[in-house]
Structure formats: structure tokens, C-alpha cells
């Protein structure tokens, strides 16, 4: 059950990008599970990847290939993460790249592989190899919706976002898809996100923008605190819009791009939370009044990860004492609990180390009733802040994850 | 549903300790919810307390009183934590101490108050005050079982432990009770534990032993990663056994005491996990082969806190990839994933960064079937190790915590 997740938008063709989708039968029969992005020659391609030391085989190969050649294809499969598979996992991922490189007549290093699904099972190489020609035959500029479906695992809906902006009479497009619903606590990027634009932009500039914006989007969401082994987020600038290549983040065109790119990245990141496993609430946890930003980030994530806070959110129970208890155990140096204030959906709940004098239980019930919850904690120590987005913890989360492999 | 929790043991009288139990009607009518320990004059009394900055009012008063006078009474209520209650919470806790001090004809500072239950509600002082004379009338050396029941909140069973040991012809006793089932990730002590002995021991020696043993017992358990606001663990040595006061941890009698005390403390800590909210498994997570002990502790707690590992444990699903993913994201410096090994209940599951060559899914199923699970992760980096005890994550956990206040 997704919370306030919009329908997949109509994404127009992004010049320089074609997408092919195929059914390889990796997880279930007759399900799209292989997605192929074809990128025009000369496109700027950058990525950010999981910080998990047990990173998956395709992540390792991606990181290596990105430095060796211009990227021409993104080859994505679902149903199998090819993680925790050791040396044979690397061989398997490389084999699929070799087959595609041969058929598409490009170098192996110009292929970036991605996998998502069960950890620890051998990659079904033969099935993917058999699907590659079908995906190549299917290449088209109009396949964004199919691609959104093709990268889903426990997601209940495909996730896409698109923005256009004008600059000096030229219209630019930014579009992307993402997937993920569990094992979501991205640390550099999320469990597969792909954002493409027709803008012309130097690789280094695009990379700097991606790293910055990912910290305001994918790196600020959490479903269950578990950082995936396969997190990858790729940004592509095809250059087909025809502008003079952007060479600095301070150019006005770069700033216009960043605004649109941030909206797309945040919408894709929030979509993952809205479709979080078992989610019945979409929750923004905002911490203000911190002495340093890292304190705000830490407290926000601790609240977002607390099973007691998450089960109270599921019950729409204004058990605000659990939130204060998390603030207290978060390890903020020199915290003065008598200066902490708590608001939920606009209602002042706590101040001066305890319940607000005018707070009534019915305010709390009213505050917790909606599907969209905004928690604001003021630490009363300074002017730094941060926001993290998360979900509640429901029976369906337990069911989904207890039965994931059955 | 508690996992392998033994019946409350027969605890004999500990000379110098009397216990009174009363029904104050704080949470529900006709339930024991006030427990009073009377300690003989001259007893050594020490405590360790929560590290949560939002520590409860009674915790603050306990810490202050311990330094001001010899402790004569422990006054405990359930149903209300008196945490997140600000200045008025301190006044309320002090008021109950004053009433007891007056009736028992001792100083206010010789009373240690403890509370457990819902956070953020005002303490029902009048109900506790009314119960104090009943508890005083009820004082007896035989009330350990009633006391175990009297301090329960979401616990399904009372928790007690007792050991005796002989030294130089004298028999010594060590006995204790504990409570706690949710908001369990003690950091210094657990949500109420009381261990008493008739040994004579200097306060400083008893304190040093308590701090050390708590790190091998209560500080190594976790149910849901949420450190409580009220964690308190008290050790009492009445001195009624008649030995020459122990003045150093290196004395042979101190060593004999530590052995018995550690067994009691671990049994009480494990009992909390066995009765963890919604628990269907009792899980020991042992991390060996660490370069430094703090790495082992960190990895063990990260595994024990992972919602994905916990839901797989609930399903008895050998989804061992989730355990490797946690090891990978735990932030161990210089971790070489190719040296990591994983055993579950004696079955080798993973080595060399992937699945063990001889591992079969049926081994995993066999390993995960019992109620008692022993996970061993070898980091392959050194010889340090640590063990943490935890539970799985079940539907009942969500139900209990979504409906806690209803």
C-alpha cells in the first residue's frame, strides 16, 4: 500500500536516450525484469554507489568501467542482486557485459551493469544473456514507464519523475526512474535510480551536482535502516539539447538545471518512501535548532529508525514520549533537555523537558491521524537543521520481509 | 510468548532484605504495581543508570540520593515512567520519597525511587502515597516472586535468578529480579534490575563489580535498539553473612562472588530477551576475529538491530545475505569481505565473500528452525570478540507497540 504516490508521469523522449525492456524469467515468468538504457556517444555519465563493504559484483564493475570508457549502455536486472557471490559473481556480471558489448559492437568497458533482488544467489547468466537481444530489439525513446516497471522488486508501483525548464529560449528535460521499498537507508545513493537530461554538461560538473543533490534526496530517506549492497544512482547528460557545454556549477544554466534536477531526485526519493514496505504513513522528520548540522542529521535518522516511534506512527498513537526518548539517547553533546521542543503536524506537543502546558491528548490524536506526518524537533542549541523522510512500521512490513523468499 | 524462559525460581530470604508489594491501581485495578525493598542499616548499595539524556525524574533523584546517605528503601512503581515530565516530575517523585521517609522514620535521602511505564504522563502521586502504608505492612523476606510480578509492564512473566556459593564454610546468596520487554537496549543498565546478596562488601568494590558485570549482561542485550529513559540496575550487599568486609576485587571471596553475581546478572538479562515483545526466538550474535573489541561489539549490535535480519529470524528463513549486508555496512575499518565467515547454529554458511561451497538451502533451514539461534561471524582480522543477545521481529511486536497505550 503506497502512501500518496502519484501515478507514473508521462515522460517524453529525452534526446540521446533509448530504453529496451525484456522478460528474462529471473524472478517470475512473464514479468519485465531486464532493462537496457542506450546512451548516445559523448554523453556525460556519472554515478554514486553504496558504501556497504559487501557491495555487489555489478557495483564493483560499474565503478571500474566508469573510469575506463565513455558509458554507452546501462544493463539492469531485477530478481537477483548478485551480492555476496564472491569471485564467481564478478565473472557472471562481466559475462553479461561481454555478451551485450559483442552484440551492440561497443567495448566491454562502456557497459555498466546493475542488479537488484535476493542477496547470495548465483546470477542466472543464461537467462540474462537470452534476454539481451530482445531488449536491444525493443529500444525506443518511449519506454520510460516500462523501465519503471522493469526495475521493481517489492515495489508496488513504478516510480518516475520529469521536469522541463527553459533557459535562453531552449527547453531542457530532466527525467528519471527509481526503485526500492525495503533495505532502504541509502548511503551515497539508493537502490537504483537513473536520471537523464538532454543538457550538455562536463562530467566533473555533473558528478559534483549529483553528489550534492543525492545528499538532499536519496541520502535523506530511510525505510528500515538497512543500507543495501546494490545502491546505485546514475545521472546522464546526453548533450542533445545543443547548449554550449556547462563547465561550472556557478553558471546560470547550471543553477537552473540543479533546481529541476533536485525536484526530480527528491520526488524519486520520496516515491521510494511512499512505497516503503508496508508503509501507511509518509513522515518528514525535521530537526532544527542544532549546533552543528551533523547533530540534526543524527537525531532525525535515530527518530526515523526507532521501531517504537514507527509502530506508534502505524497506530496513529501520539506517544510523543518515545520521540523524546530517542532525542535523549541520540548522543548530542551538551543537550539541554529543558530546551527541547516538539511539534507534530503543527501542534506543539512538548517543551521545557515535558508536555506542553496547553497540550491535550485530542491534539495529539488529530496531529497523528493524517497519512502525511511532519515531526519537528527543536534542539534549542543553534541554527543548523536537517530533514529525513521515512515510513511507519506495520504488520505488512513483517509479513513482506518474513515471506520475501517464499 | 516467552522463549525458553524458566519458571521463577524459589528465592530464599536474603538476610537484611525485606520486600513489600501493594496494588496502587496505577495501570489497572487489582494488579501489583508498587514494590518496596527495605535494606538493613549499613548495607552497601550501588547503582548504574540510563545514559539517555531524557532520563526520568526518579533516575535523577536516585543518582543524587545515592551520594548523600546510606540507602534504606527502594520504592518502585510500574504503569508510569515519570519521564519527559520536567520539573513537576521531579517534585512528584520527591513527594513519594518524603511520605515514605516520614512513615518509615528515615531521611528522605535514604529513599531511592524508581518508575517504569508510559512516558510523558504525570505521576499519580496520590495513588502511590496511598499504597505506601500497605507496602510497609506487607514487608517480608519471602516476597521475591510477588516483587517480580509487581515490577512487570509488558513482560509476560516475572524474572528472577538466585545462586548460592560457599566460601570458607560460609554460604552466601545472590538473588535478583528484573523487568523489561520493549524499549530494551540498555546503556549502563536495564529497565529495572535489582540484585541483592548477604555478603559484606565495600561500596566501591561492589560498584566496580556491578559496572564490569553489567557490560557482560544487561549492556549486551537488545530487543529493539531503543534505550529507555528509566534504565536502572541496583546491587545491594547487606553484610549479614558476617564475613570480614571485602575490600578488593582481587580477594578470593570477591572472585567467588563475581562468578555467582555474573550468573545471576546474565540470567536476568537473558530473561528480558527471552520475554522480549513478540519474541519467538532467542538469538546469540557472536562476532569473533575482530581487530579491536569495539568492532566486534558494533557489528554484533548492528546485526541484532537489523529489521531485515530480525524478520528473517521470525520466519526461520536462512536469508544469510542480509547478515552479510549488515556486516558490510557496519563501518569496520579495513574490512576484507573475502575473509568473512558466517556460521549459524554450527552450519558454515558463508566464506570468501560468498556462499560456502558445500552449503545447501536445507542446511540453512535446519540451522534456523530451533527457537535458540547462535550466529557466529568471523571477521578474519584478529582475535577480539563480543556477544550480544536479542530476539526476532514478529507481528506481535508490532501489535504490542501499536496498541501499548490503548
What does the block give as the cell for A166? Answer: 527553459
Taking only the tens place, the pLDDT of each residue in B166-204 is 999 999 999 999 988 777 777 655 678 889 999 999 999
Integer angstrom CA distances of residue B314 from A30, A305, A307, B282, B395: 31, 19, 16, 10, 9
Domain assignment of residue B99, yes or no:
yes
Q: Looking at the predicted structure, is the pLDDT value of residue A39 above 70?
A: yes
A127 is written with which cell numbers?
537467462
Residue A176: inside a domain: yes
- Do A306 and A157 share a domain, yes or no? no
The answer as to whether B3 is a domain residue is: no
Q: Are B156 and B2 in contact (CB under 8 A)?
A: yes
Interface list for A 251-310 with B (CB within 8 A) = 305-308
Interchain proximity B402–A311, CB inside 8 Å: yes
The total number of residues written for chain B in this structure = 406
Q: Which helix (H) or strand (E) holds A361?
A: helix A361-368
Q: Does residue B270 sit in the same domain as residue B289?
A: no
What is the model's pLDDT at position A177? 92
Let me know whether A179 and A53 are in one domain. yes
- Give the tens place of pLDDT for each residue, B139-151: 999 999 999 999 9
pLDDT for position A350: 92
Whether A263 and A289 share a structural domain:
no
A87: chain B residues, CB-CB within 8 Å: 352-354
A–B CB contacts, 8 A cutoff, strictly below: 221
Q: Is A363 within 8 Å of chain B by CB?
A: no
Mean pLDDT within B34-62: 91
Same domain, A265 and A286: no
Position B187 scores a pLDDT of 65
Regarding whether B111 and B202 lie in a shared domain, the answer is yes
Based on the domain organization, do B69 and B213 belong to the same domain?
A: yes
Mutation site for B-interface testing, chosen from A398, A399, A403, A406 by largest number of B Cβ within 10 Å: A398
Residue range B131-139: average pLDDT?
A: 97
Rounded to whole angstroms, the Cα distance separating B281 from B209 reads 30
- Could you tell me the pLDDT band of residue B353, with boundaries at 50, 70 and 90? confident
Rounded to whole angstroms, the Cα distance separating B7 from B24 reads 26
Ligand-binding annotation for A38, yes or no, is no
Task: Give the pLDDT confidence score for residue B359 in this predicted structure.
Answer: 92
Beta carbons of B86 and A354 less than 8 Å apart: yes
Q: At what angle do helices A86-104 and A57-66 cross, to 10 degrees?
A: 50
Q: Name residues whose C-beta falls within 8 Å of residue B367's C-beta, 6 or more positions apart in sequence.
A: B318, B344, B345, B346, B347, B349, B373
A91: contact with B, CB 8 A cutoff:
no
pLDDT at A405: 63
List A residues 189-228 in contact with B (Cβ-Cβ < 8 A). 224-228
Contacts with B380 (C-beta within 8 Å, 6 or more apart), sequence order: B289, B336, B339, B340, B341
pLDDT value at residue A223: 81
Q: Is the separation of the CB atoms in A380 and A336 below 8 Å?
A: yes
B383 is a domain residue: yes
Minimum-distance CB partner of A120 among B87, B119, B320:
B320
The whole-number pLDDT of residue B181 equals 79
Residue B334 located in a structural domain: yes
Q: Give the end of a domain, one of A237, A252, A274.
A: A274
Range B347-351, long-range pairs (CB < 8 A, 24+ positions): B349/B318, B349/B320, B350/A84, B350/A120, B350/B320, B350/B324
Does B217 score more than 90 pLDDT?
A: no
Residue A7 lies in a domain: no
The total number of structural domains that make up chain B: 2
Residues of A in contact with B401 (CB under 8 A): 307-308, 311-312, 315
Query: Final residue of a domain: which of B249, B274, B299?
Result: B274
Are A98 and A117 in a shared domain?
yes
Residue B10 counted as domain residue: no
Confidence of residue A1 (pLDDT cuts 50, 70, 90): low
Sign of CA dihedral B347, B351, B357, B362: positive
- Copy the grid coordinates of residue A262: 533536485
pLDDT score for A27: 81
Q: Which of B53, B60, B223, B320 would you mutate first to test chain A, the one with the most A CBs within 10 A?
A: B53
Neighbours of B12 (CB within 10 A): 13
Q: What is the pLDDT of residues A323-359, one digit of tens each?
A: 998 999 898 989 998 899 999 999 999 998 788 999 9
Tell me the mean pLDDT in the region B222-245: 86
Q: If contacts are CB pairs under 8 Å, which of residues 300-359 in chain A contact chain B?
A: 305-308, 311-312, 314-315, 317, 319-322, 324-329, 332, 335, 337-338, 350, 352-355
Mean pLDDT along residues A261-280: 89
Are A258 and A364 found together in one domain?
A: no
In tens, the pLDDT along A378-404 reads 999 999 999 999 999 999 888 888 876
Q: A287 and A236, same structural domain?
A: no
Closest-CA distance, B126 to chain A, in angstroms, reads 20
Q: In this predicted structure, what is the pLDDT of residue A220?
A: 82
Give the per-residue SS3 of chain B: CCCCCCCCCCCCCCCCEEEEEECCCCCCCCCCCEEEEEECCCCEEEEEECCCCCCCHHHHHHHHHHCCCCCCEEEEEEEECCCCEHHHHHHHHHHHHHHHHHHHCCCHHHEEEEEEEECCCCCCHHHHHHHHHHHHHCCECCCHHHHHHHCCCCCCCCEEEEEEEEECCEEEEEEEEECCCCCCCCCCCCCCEEEEECCCECHHHHHHHHHHHHCCCHHHEECCCCCCCCCEEEEEECCCCCCCCECCCCCHHHHHHHHHHHHHHHHHHHHHHHCCCCCCCEEEEEEEEECCHHHHHHHHHHHHHCHHHHHHHHCCCCCCHHHHHHHHHCCCCCCCHHHCEEEECCEEEEECCEECCCCCHHHHHHHHCCCEEEEEEECCCCCEEEEEEEECCCHHHHHHHHCCCC
The beta strand positions in A97-205, using DSSP E, are: 111-118, 159-167, 170-178, 193-197
> Average pLDDT, whole number, for chain A?
91
Report yes or no: B87 at the A interface, CB cutoff 8 Å.
yes
| Residue B172: CATH number of its domain | 3.60.70.12
Residue A53 has pLDDT above 90, yes or no: no
Statement: residue A406 has pLDDT above 70: no
Name the more confident of A195 and B353.
Answer: A195
Lowest-confidence segment of A9-13, B229-233, B260-264 by average pLDDT: B229-233
Tell me whether residue B295 is in a domain: yes
Give the per-residue pLDDT at A237: 93
> pLDDT tens-digit profile of B56-112?
999 999 999 998 989 999 999 999 999 988 899 999 999 999 999 999 999 999 999
Same domain, A95 and A134: yes
Over residues B298-326, mean pLDDT: 92
Q: A161-184 pLDDT, tens per residue?
A: 999 999 999 999 999 999 887 777
- Chain A residues whose CB is inside 8 A of the B84 CB are 320-321, 324-325, 350, 353-355
A211 membership: H or E segment, kind and range: helix A203-214
| Residue environment code for A133-157, b if the CB has 16+ CB neighbours within 10 A, otherwise e | eebbebbeeebbbbbbbbbbbbbeb
Indicate which CATH number applies to the domain containing B288: 3.10.20.340
End-to-end CA distance of chain A: 20
Note the pLDDT of residue A188.
Answer: 54
Using a 10 angstrom Cβ sphere, with 0-12 exposed, 13-18 middle and 19 or more buried, the burial of residue B357 is exposed
Q: Does B154 touch chain A (CB under 8 A)?
A: no
Domain that holds residue B304: 282-402
Average pLDDT over residues A12-34: 93
Which H, E and C letters describe A293-312, residue by residue? HHHHHHHHHHHHHCHHHHHH
Query: Using the beta-carbon criterion (under 8 Å), do B395 and A398 form an inter-chain contact?
Result: yes
Q: What is the average pLDDT value for chain B, to the nearest integer?
A: 91
A312, closest residue in chain B (CA to CA): B402
Residues from chain B that touch A401, judged by Cβ atoms under 8 A, are 307-308, 311-312, 315
Annotation-wise, does B298 bind a ligand? no
A141 & A209 share domain: yes
Catalytic residues of B: 190
Q: Which of B228, B235, B295, B197 is nearest to B50 (CA)?
A: B228
Choosing from B235, B252, B274, the residue where a domain stops is B274
Amino acid at each position: 500500500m503506497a502512501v500518496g504516490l502519484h501515478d507514473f508521469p508521462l515522460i517524453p523522449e529525452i534526446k540521446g536516450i533509448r530504453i529496451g525492456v525484456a522478460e528474462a524469467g529471473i524472478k517470475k515468468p512473464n514479468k519485465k525484469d531486464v532493462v537496457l538504457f542506450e546512451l548516445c556517444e559523448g554523453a556525460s555519465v556519472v554515478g554514486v554507489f553504496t558504501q556497504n563493504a559487501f557491495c555487489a559484483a555489478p557495483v564493483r564493475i560499474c565503478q571500474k568501467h566508469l573510469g575506463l570508457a565513455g558509458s554507452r549502455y546501462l544493463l539492469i536486472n531485477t530478481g537477483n542482486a548478485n551480492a555476496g557471490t564472491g569471485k564467481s559473481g564478478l565473472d557472471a556480471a562481466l559475462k553479461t557485459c561481454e555478451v551485450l558489448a559483442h552484440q551492440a559492437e561497443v567495448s566491454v568497458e562502456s557497459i555498466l551493469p546493475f542488479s537488484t533482488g535476493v542477496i547470495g544467489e548465483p546470477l542466472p547468466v543464461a537467462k540474462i544473456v537470452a534476454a539481451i537481444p530482445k531488449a536491444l530489439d525493443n529500444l525506443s525513446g518511449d519506454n520510460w514507464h516500462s523501465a519503471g516497471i522493469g526495475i521493481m522488486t517489492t515495489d508496488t508501483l513504478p516510480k518516475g519523475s520529469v521536469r522541463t525548464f527553459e533557459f535562453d529560449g531552449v527547453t531542457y528535460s530532466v527525467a528519471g526512474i527509481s526503485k526500492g521499498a525495503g533495505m532502504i537507508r541509502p548511503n551515497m545513493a539508493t537502490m537504483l535510480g537513473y536520471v537523464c537530461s538532454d543538457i550538455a554538461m562536463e562530467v566533473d560538473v555533473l558528478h559534483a551536482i549529483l553528489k550534492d543533490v543525492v545528499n538532499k534526496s536519496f541520502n535523506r530517506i530511510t525505510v528500515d535502516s538497512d543500507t543495501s549492497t546494490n545502491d546505485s544512482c546514475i545521472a546522464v547528460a546526453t548533450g542533445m539539447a545543443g547548449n554550449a557545454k556547462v563547465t561550472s556549477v556557478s553558471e546560470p544554466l547550471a543553477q537552473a538545471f540543479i533546481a529541476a534536477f533536485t525536484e526530480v531526485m527528491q520526488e524519486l526519493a520520496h516515491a521510494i518512501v511512499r512505497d516503503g514496505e508496508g508503509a501507511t504513513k509518509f513522515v518528514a522528520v525535521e530537526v532544527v535548532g542544532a549546533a552543528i548540522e551533523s547533530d540534526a542529521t543524527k537525531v532525525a535518522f535515530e527518530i526515523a529508525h526507532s521501531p517504537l516511534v514507527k509502530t506508534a506512527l502505524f497506530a496513529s498513537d501520539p506517544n510523543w514520549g518515545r520521540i523524546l526518548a530517542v532525542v535523549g539517547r541520540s548522543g548530542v553533546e551538551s543537550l539541554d533537555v529543558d530546551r527541547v521542543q516538539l511539534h507534530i503536524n503543527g501542534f506543539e506537543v512538548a517543551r521545557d523537558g515535558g508536555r506542553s502546558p496547553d497540550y491535550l491528548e485530542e491534539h495529539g490524536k488529530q496531529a497523528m491521524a493524517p497519512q502525511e506526518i511532519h515531526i519537528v524537533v527543536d534542539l534549542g542549541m543553534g541554527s543548523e537543521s536537517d530533514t529525513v523522510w521515512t515510513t511507519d512500521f506495520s504488520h505488512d512490513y513483517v509479513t513482506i520481509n518474513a515471506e520475501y523468499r517464499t
